[in-house]
Amino acid sequence: MDPAEDADEPAFEWMKPAAGKRAETAAPEGAGRAEEAPAAATPAAATRATTPEAVRSSTPPAAGERAATAGTGERQGRRAERMAAAGAEGVGTAEGAHINEPLPTSALQLRPPREEVERRNAEREQAANAKPVAPRVMQVLLAVCYPIILLVLAVRAIASPLFLWVEYNRPGFPGDGYGFNTDDRMTYGSYAVDYLSNWSGPRYLGDLVNRGGETLFKDGEVSHMADVKLVILSAFGAGALLVLLSLVAILYLRRRSPGGVRRGLFAGSIATLVIIIGLGVLAVLGWEQFFTDFHRVFFANGTWTFSLQDTLIRLFPGQFWVDAGITIGGLVLLASLLTLVLTWPTRKRRGLPPRSAARDAARDAAADADAGTVDPAALKGRRFKRRSGAAAEHEPAASQEAPAGPGAVSGDDKPADRAGAATDL
């Protein structure tokens, strides 16, 4: 390309000759033109002299153009000096020395420090290994709800006519010294138990009369039964709400966290055992104090104490509440133990291989480590042979015996003997 065609283009400034060289070549050309001036009087010479190329070649360079040309020459000189210095220092390749000059895209080639790379890798691994929070929350919710649900269900089993019948008809249950027989107790006690779970008002018990026409329950007894009903219905409502929450947690864990239901129930069963054993110890150490403290938690003082002649004491004596406490503790303990057994984290439930396979794998890994090599194909081959051997041990003896006949070879023959038999055939 001819830089003279685009004199105003700065990209071609470095291709133009330096100012000194132009000055050296300008004098001979000028002298020649001066000598040939008489001969240029012809029309063709005049035409050539008036062309743009001739005018530009005969016009001396401007000051700005000379400065740009001089600057380009200086840059070319410095570049040549750097290349020479790099070649002298041995920098370069077999094709020639090169200068490590910053390029417009050199910023993209910069690598962050090693500490920054390690930090980013650690954060990436932590984010990949981090478990979501929602499954853990659901597991905790299931573990918290489980003991309360068991206690509410046990109380519901006690507050039933069936438990009354068992208590009034069991041997050793104390009788009533004021005239109630078993039939009377069962009839009047059923009214009291039904009142705890229905939506009737205090008149349900206040209007009851005995066989003599007298009022069965006094006002204080009716008031206390109303308080008991409020506590029982609140407990049943809370139990129903916790059952719904537990079902939601179970459905979520079954879809999002395999094994989450098992872990939640396992933790809940352990918590239930701790609670029921602690309450049992307190009840055994001092039943009267335990019974009194229990009533103080839910009822106001003076509203739950009655005389021995009152109907509530005659229907529900002290032995009834002892048996009720033992039954509640036994039901909750049995349910928690059953849940603990069914959710125990065995290796199969955790998705781990059997212990024998784990020991074999560890032994193979130790042997490979001692040998200094680890061959996955060899490990796979050894495991396949081990499984094949275990399967052969379980096969019947008849299937291990080879049928007699021409060309049959027993399993005890050596390779040479088998080869010989094949040759004979």
DSSP string over 42-95: SHHHHHHHTSHHHHHHHSPPPHHHHHHHHHHHHHHHHHHHHHHHHHHHT-SBTT
d(CA 161, CA 146): 26
Q: What is the pLDDT of residue 124?
A: 85
- Say whether pLDDT at 173 is over 90: yes
Q: Does residue 27 carry a pLDDT above 70?
A: no
How is residue 215 annotated by DSSP?
B
Q: Give the count of beta carbons closer than 10 Å to the beta carbon of residue 255.
A: 9
Give the separation between CA 57 and CA 47, rounded to whole angstroms.
15
Picking from 309, 317, 316, 313, the residue whose alpha carbon sits closest to that of residue 178 is 309
Residue 395 has pLDDT above 90, yes or no: no
Of 346 and 242, more confident? 242
% residues pLDDT > 70 (the chain): 57
Residue of 160, 173, 180, 164 whose CA lies nearest to 311? 180
User: Is residue 415 packed enough to be buried (19+ CB in 10 Å), middle (13-18) or exposed (0-12)?
Assistant: exposed
Q: Which residue has the higher pLDDT, 422 or 135?
A: 135
Q: What's the confidence (pLDDT) of residue 49? A: 43
Say yes or no to pLDDT of 203 above 70.
yes
* Residue 264 in tokens: 């939640």
Structure confidence at residue 399 (pLDDT): 40
Tell me: pLDDT of 54 over 80: no
Sorted by sequence, the CB contacts under 8 Å of residue 313 that are 6+ apart come out as: 306, 307
246 to 145, 250, 313: CA distances (angstroms): 7, 6, 38
The whole-number average pLDDT for the span 148-159 is 94
Nearest to 155 by CA among 197, 202, 200: 197
Please give the distance of CA 268 from its chain centroid, rounded to a whole number: 21
Do residues 247 and 145 lie in contact, with contact meaning Cβ atoms separated by under 8 Å?
no
Tell whether the model's pLDDT for residue 383 goes beyond 60: no
Whether pLDDT at 205 is above 50: yes
pLDDT for position 390: 43
Question: Which range has the top average pLDDT, 83-87, 186-190, 354-358?
Answer: 186-190
Average pLDDT, the chain: 74
| Helix locations, 260-412, DSSP H | 260-285, 287-298, 311-315, 318-342, 355-371, 376-394, 397-400
Q: Which pLDDT score, from 0 to 100, does residue 13 have?
A: 59
The whole-number average pLDDT for the span 99-117 is 65
What value does the mean pLDDT take over residues 14-20?
57
